[in-house]
């Protein structure tokens, strides 16, 4: 085994093999919530998943058709545009994660945590703007255009940040045992 792995990794690999063979007791649900080692990671993981669910993306995706209908667009086309925007911008998020972050993010020293904070802030501002613009959607053509732009911007912000980053972050902080 010393020929395949570095000396420091041999004992770690042996422990993994022994664990996988079932000779070491697996972690119980009680240990997840009571052991200091796992409790913090479980709390952070559950908080991040709750943050993603409470971000508002489900409401935006669900009601985007109604909002597009309100601004005199076909609701099916509006939902399709929203879904396609989500799909295309998901590739942007995967690129940011898969390429060790792009040159610009390296230049700004953005990591996963900073991406989450920055884009969550942008999503919050976007939702506030969408709420204000939607209030005036019947009175102003500019509000209609702003609603469409803010819906698509929110979907892009989510697909770049909270969509992929949270699940990658969870896989890193939670123990594989």
pLDDT in tens, 95-145: 766 655 555 555 455 667 777 888 889 999 998 998 888 888 888 888 888
What per-residue confidence (pLDDT) applies to 40? 79
Please give the domain boundaries of the chain with CATH numbers for all domains. Answer: 7-48 (no CATH), 56-173 (1.20.1250.20)
Could you tell me the two tokens for 76? 């099916």
Least confident piece of the model among 31-40, 83-92, 151-160: 31-40
Cα(35)–Cα(33) distance, rounded to whole angstroms? 6
The pLDDT assigned to 36 comes to 74
pLDDT at 73: 82
Percent of the chain with pLDDT over 70: 75
Looking at residue 107, its pLDDT comes to 45
pLDDT of 62 over the 60 cut: yes
The b/e string for 111-124 (b: 16+ C-beta within 10 A; e otherwise) is: ebeebbeebbebbe
pLDDT exceeds cutoff 80 at 24: no
């Amino acid at each position: 085994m010393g020929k395949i792995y570095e000396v420091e990794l041999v004992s770690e690999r042996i422990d993994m093999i022994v664990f996988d063979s079932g000779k070491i007791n697996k972690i119980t649900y009680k240990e997840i919530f009571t052991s200091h080692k796992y409790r913090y990671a479980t709390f952070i993981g559950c908080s991040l998943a709750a943050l993603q669910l409470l971000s508002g993306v489900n409401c935006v995706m669900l009601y985007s058709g109604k909002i597009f209908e309100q601004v005199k667009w076909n609701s099916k086309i509006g939902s399709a545009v929203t879904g396609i925007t989500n799909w295309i911008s998901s590739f942007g998020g995967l690129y940011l994660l898969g390429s060790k972050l792009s040159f610009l993010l390296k230049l700004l020293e953005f990591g996963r945590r900073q991406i989450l904070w920055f884009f969550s802030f942008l999503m919050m501002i976007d939702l506030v703007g969408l709420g204000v613009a939607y209030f005036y959607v019947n009175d102003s053509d500019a509000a209609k255009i702003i609603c469409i732009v803010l819906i698509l911007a929110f979907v892009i912000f989510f697909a770049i940040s909270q969509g992929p980053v949270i699940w990658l972050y969870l896989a890193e902080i939670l123990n594989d045992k």
